[in-house]
Chains A and B, each alone.
Chain A
Amino acid sequence: MATKVKKMLFILSKATIENVYAAFIMANGARMEGIEAEIFFTFFGLEAIEKKKLEHLKVATVGNPAMHIPTLLGGLPGVEAFATKMMKKEMEKLDMPPIDEFLEILSDSGVSLWACKLAVDMFHLEEKDLIDDLDGILTIGDFYNRADVEGTQLLFI
């Protein structure tokens, strides 16, 4: 299938599991179709590439109508952890890799992984706090320059 999309640029601004996986699966899917892909991690999205945090991402149980539980219940201790455990179990059944392995797959597949400079500064992070596979820390201007290719699509998650 010939596609007009040549390059997908994802901006990941959230660290809830459902959003992180959406970005990862779409970036990987793009590479599998011969489309270039890059991910720019900004704001809370940075947690997905923080060595200490990436294994502890959670599903949003509050303010998420699709959970089909009362918001008040979603905020009770343990509910978030339980929902996360259940979701991870379902994902494992579909052979979806955990975050750390998924990042390796993305990097090996040629997906460039970028951290947002402003967010890195704001959260007082250093390069050593972030995954080794990171391609670098960029300003938003640098990132826009990477979009300057015909057939590029930008997606904010």
Chain B
Amino acid sequence: MEKIIANKTIEINEEGYLTDFSQWDKEVGTALAEEKNIEMTDMHWMVIDYLQGKHKNEEALSIRGIKKSGKFNIKEFYKLFPGGPLKISTLIAGIPKPKSCI
């Protein structure tokens, strides 16, 4: 389905995740974060950048991967994206929701 956000039209699935990453930019990310009551900081963008990099390399995302990332730890991750960090951060990053159970 279509959604208009930050003066752009984006394609999303029924859970609100972008289906075409080429439609993503920082304004879209900021607006999606606002809908989740998150104000983006440099630290948030660093995490988003990390997630997008992983997605580009087709590496699966998991909480264990966050621990191993060496860039930020699990505690910070939960603080930055409260209420389900991996599913919220991937939504803001414009990449698919991770399918892993871990």
Taking the nearest CB of chain B, how far is it from the CB of A39, in angstroms? 16
A33-B74 contact in complex given A101-B64, A105-B63, C-beta closer than 8 Å:
no
Kindly list chain A residues whose C-beta atoms are within 8 Å of the C-beta of B100.
95
- B78 part of interface (Cβ distance < 8 Å): yes
- B84 part of interface (Cβ distance < 8 Å): yes
Q: Which residue of B lies closest to A97 (CB)?
A: B64
Q: Is the CB of B78 within 8 A of A109?
A: yes
Kindly list chain A residues whose C-beta atoms are within 8 Å of the C-beta of B87.
32-33
Q: Is the CB of A34 within 8 A of B64?
A: no
A32-B74 contact in complex given A25-B101, A95-B60, A109-B63, C-beta closer than 8 Å:
no
- A110 part of interface (Cβ distance < 8 Å): yes
* Residues of A near any B CB (own CB < 8 A): 1, 25, 28-29, 31-34, 94-97, 101, 104-105, 108-110
A108-B75 contact in complex given A28-B102, A34-B83, A96-B102, C-beta closer than 8 Å:
yes
Choose one: B15, B62, B74, B85; the contact of A95 (CB below 8 Å). Answer: B62
Interface size range of chain B in the complex: 20 to 34
A108-B67 contact in complex given A25-B101, A95-B102, C-beta closer than 8 Å:
yes
* Residues of B near any A CB (own CB < 8 A): 15, 60, 62-65, 67, 73-75, 78, 82-87, 100-102
Kindly list chain B residues whose C-beta atoms are within 8 Å of the C-beta of A31.
78
**Complexed CA–CA distance, A147 and B87 (Å):** 26
Kindly list chain B residues whose C-beta atoms are within 8 Å of the C-beta of A25.
101-102
Kindly list chain B residues whose C-beta atoms are within 8 Å of the C-beta of A34.
82-84
Taking the nearest CB of chain A, how far is it from the CB of B78, in angstroms? 6
Q: Which residue of B lies closest to A24 (CB)?
A: B102
**Complexed CA–CA distance, A96 and B85 (Å):** 19
Q: Is the CB of B78 within 8 A of A105?
A: no
Q: Is the CB of B63 within 8 A of A28?
A: yes
Top-8 shortest CB links A-B: A34-B83, A108-B74, A34-B84, A108-B75, A97-B64, A33-B84, A109-B74, A95-B62
Taking the nearest CB of chain A, how far is it from the CB of B38, in angstroms? 13
Residue among A28, A32, A104 with the highest chain B CB neighbour number at 10 A = A32
Taking the nearest CB of chain A, how far is it from the CB of B41, in angstroms? 20
Given A25-B102, A28-B102, A97-B102, 20 other A-B residues pairs in contact with their CB atoms under 8 A? A29-B102, A31-B78, A32-B63, A32-B85, A32-B86, A34-B84, A94-B102, A95-B62, A95-B65, A96-B102, A101-B64, A101-B67, A104-B67, A105-B67, A108-B67, A108-B73, A108-B75, A108-B78, A109-B63, A110-B75
